[in-house]
Amino acid sequence: MQTDRTDVDTLFHNLWENYCRVTPSAERIHRLLDNSQGKAIVNDHIALRTFNIDKLNLDKLAAHFLALGYEQGGEYHFDAKKLYARHYEHPDPTVPKVFISELLVEQCSDALQSIVHQLVDNVSPSVVNQSDFLYSGRHWNLDYATYQTLLEESEYAAWTAAWGYRPNHFTVSVNHLSQFRTLAEVNQRLKDEGFRLNTSGGEIKGSPQDLLEQSSTMADRANVAFSDQTVSIPSCFYEFALRYPKPDGELYSGFVAASADKIFESTDSKG
Ligand code: NI
């Protein structure tokens, strides 16, 4: 099919700029790993978070990517965290994959449901279709106490309420790095430079048998202007992925639910 590469590149450029504004460590890590001879860092995937309320659910976010020629990939269930996710990939394998999750709001407490519905009621349905929606931030007022109430029940709900629509992480494709062959080498370099890794489920999630190994930093912290005060809270993190070939020789392009489950914890404020 016709690959509208310019539109894809523009979207990811805008997503990256938005992400770096609250994730200063990503640019430092980018420079640290990109010491090759002009071989640019390849982005394996980004991840987006939302609530499963019709107005702005997973499908509404995915529509932006389907319009760019993406196709639906696998689906993933995270029962304990009350999340559902799908990944999307483009026929052009050099275009980043997209992992979109949504909180299953109706499975949460009445208090959480009531808060989230109030937030979402403030969103005009038309903004969800606008081309900049995926990096448009928060579309509701939120005070710090409400953020903390959400945080007690669901770190995911609190993060999404505070940050709104923006990439939760970008992901370095370790397969495309020239100076690092394994995830352990990448992790060691990051630790040597003082970066803190997510150790939930071990530093490396997944295995060659899973066809995907992943690691990630713990999220940076950045100021959020709540309606009553500005507070520094976990923002976004950087992920690293090493993919292995399937029997047909093509690199595995899916995700591993057990690993993604632990990666979600990279934005844990207690982490
Ligand atoms: Ni990821």
The CA distance from 235 to 98, in Å, is 19
The CA distance from 215 to 117, in Å, is 33
Cα 189 to averaged position of ligand 1 atoms, centre (Å): 20
Cα 218 to averaged position of ligand 1 atoms, centre (Å): 13
pLDDT of residue 39: 62
Cα 109 to averaged position of ligand 1 atoms, centre (Å): 27
pLDDT of residue 176: 92
The CA distance from 239 to 45, in Å, is 9
Q: Which of 133, 49, 135, 117 is nearest to 85 (CA)?
A: 49
Handedness of CA 256, 258, 264, 270 (dihedral sign): negative
Cα 229 to averaged position of ligand 1 atoms, centre (Å): 31
Cα 99 to averaged position of ligand 1 atoms, centre (Å): 7
pLDDT of residue 37: 55
Which neighbouring-strand residues pair with 45?
97
pLDDT of residue 34: 78
Mean pLDDT in consecutive groups of 10 residues from the start of the chain, 271 residues: 78 97 94 72 96 98 97 97 98 95 98 98 95 97 98 98 98 93 96 96 96 97 98 97 96 95 89 48
Would you call 71 helix, strand, or coil by DSSP? strand
pLDDT of residue 109: 98
pLDDT of residue 7: 93
Could you tell me where the DSSP H helices lie in 144-256? 144-153, 155-163, 183-192
H-helix or E-strand spanning residue 260: helix 257-263
pLDDT of residue 1: 47
Cα 167 to averaged position of ligand 1 atoms, centre (Å): 10
**Which residues make up the environment of ion ligand 1, defined by Cβ < 5 Å?**
47, 239
